[in-house]
Amino acid sequence: MSWTLLIGLAMVTFFNRYLFLEPKTRIVVPQFVMSMLNYAAPCLMISIAIPIVFFDHHAWKGIVQNSYFYGAVFCILVTAVTRKLLMSIVTSLVFFYGLLYLL
């Protein structure tokens, strides 16, 4: 996955959510559309993260020696326990880069 694609996907997601969820905009959409927009970013992030975590150049990475998998599981657990975004990101990055260094 290239940086151009990742940045493009992030921009599309941000502008779609901003356009509809910003209270100052005059666009009114039905409530079910608003509830679907709340799930747009997590769904997009999952679709980006799965190939990065489990595949390397279209080849299955496996799980035993896969530091990306352990980093993702650790990030999910830390986020579920702490519910603090910045702390979850920092501790997950430290854990992930520690695994990359050790493995």
The pTM is what? Answer: 0.62
The pLDDT tens digits for 55-94 are 888 889 888 888 889 999 999 899 899 988 889 889 999 9
Q: What are phi and psi of 26, to 5 degrees?
A: -95, 15
Cα dist. 77→69, 80, 82 in Å? Answer: 12, 5, 9
The pLDDT tens digits for 23-39 are 777 777 788 877 877 77
pLDDT of 40 strictly over 70: no
Specify the pLDDT at position 78.
93
- The CA R_g of the chain, rounded to the nearest whole Å, is 17
Mean pLDDT, rounded, for 32-54? 77
Of the pLDDT bands very low, low, confident and very high (cuts 50, 70, 90), residue 98 is very high
Give the CA count within 13 Å in the CB-facing half-sphere of 95.
Answer: 18
Q: Identify whether the C-beta of residue 93 lies closer than 8 Å to the C-beta of residue 78.
A: no
